[in-house]
Structure 1
């Protein structure tokens, strides 16, 4: 592959992976990188990936040619559920080779590919394969999306432990400021705790703040 592929996962559903992915693509594009996003598996949609559509809106771009050919959204299932359940309802299996081939084609053309997962690291893609298993097979560095909401310290540390157990590299922790606790004391402490934990246990990982946006709901995952 010519360009790196970063796998964007989250500590929980609704943590803001889609916005973080689109924001990072926009940020790195503005810094001269040729960036494209891809959705590993999209559920709850028909024909097009709403997450990819949101990425393009955040990036301030229209559809890429690779969106039109579905390289960025190789597998779409109709039921809004975990992939292992969505595949059962649609009565077809995930074509993992199709996904891998699409990622490879994107990486050969772009400087960076941001590959957004569905839910968190332990979400089952099939009854035998977890998302983190797929990441481990491909050896993708991970961008983990977290926030200052109550409970995120626990969820973040569990996710980081899972990465450590499998020997997976953490490229960055993306801290979503759109998902802060309503209690400013909790938010401040969560940020400080996670920054200290990251420095001690993942010293090579970056900390990236994902800034607050005015119109949150249409862009949040």
Structure 2
């Protein structure tokens, strides 16, 4: 297992879109900063971005967790597009063509120049979501040789999504440090504890963390301990 002190870069992967990748990334950043670790985060492509509501965006939330403000938006998320669509489609609407090689190059440059002890690279959407005209979010950990934290949801059908994503990472021989199951806000969602246990029973040797809503400190600390192990 990679150590955040000698191989500090991690990819935050999602089993689906809008299931808590940024929530988990921010909690991990806050837990690491509370331990005195210098942190950095990078989400190279972001769609559905409203400049007037930047603080509510994924980039804004990452900046807040890092203790930074609007002036650092470009350093955390340089490719931002307005339409709430898949990044290549949102980019096309603004006359931009997203190519995976250029995105990977931006990420590699960020990894090289950041002096942080813990660096989190976050994808867009689910693991197999197109992030460019010729690539998916999966290309980032694969091309950059990064271990992942996989974030899954707890809605009906989430177990299939997260286990499928886990199998994709395993098929590419990409290390998974931990799997975080993010609690669903929908009162009609399946029982959260049962969902977590079901995921755990199929996750094999990958540690599973229960990311409950409310006080994030216990599970964020547990996740950080797995990352630093």
Q: TM-score normalised by the shorter chain: which range applies?
A: 0.7 to 0.9
Q: RMSD of aligned C-alpha atoms?
A: 2.6
Q: 1:189 aligns with which of 191, 194, 202?
A: 194
The answer as to 2:61 corresponding to 1:54 is yes
**Gaps in structure 1 of 5+ consecutive residues:** 215-221
Length-normalised TM-score, structure 1: 0.81
**Gaps in structure 2 of 5+ consecutive residues:** 216-229
1:86-125 correspondence to structure 2 within 5 Å: 86-94=90-98, 95-96=102-103, 97-106=105-114, 109-125=115-131
Contact 2:156 2:189 in 1 (8 A): no
Q: 1:141 aligns with which of 138, 142, 147?
A: 147
Aligned to 1:74: 78
The answer as to 2:23 corresponding to 1:11 is no
4+ residue runs over 4 A deviation: 46-49
**How much has 1:44 moved relative to structure 2?**
2.0
Aligned to 1:208: 209
Aligned length: 204
Q: 1:164 aligns with which of 157, 160, 170?
A: 170
**How much has 1:80 moved relative to structure 2?**
1.7
Length-normalised TM-score, structure 2: 0.78
Mapped to 2, the partners of 1:133 and 1:16 lie a distance apart of 20
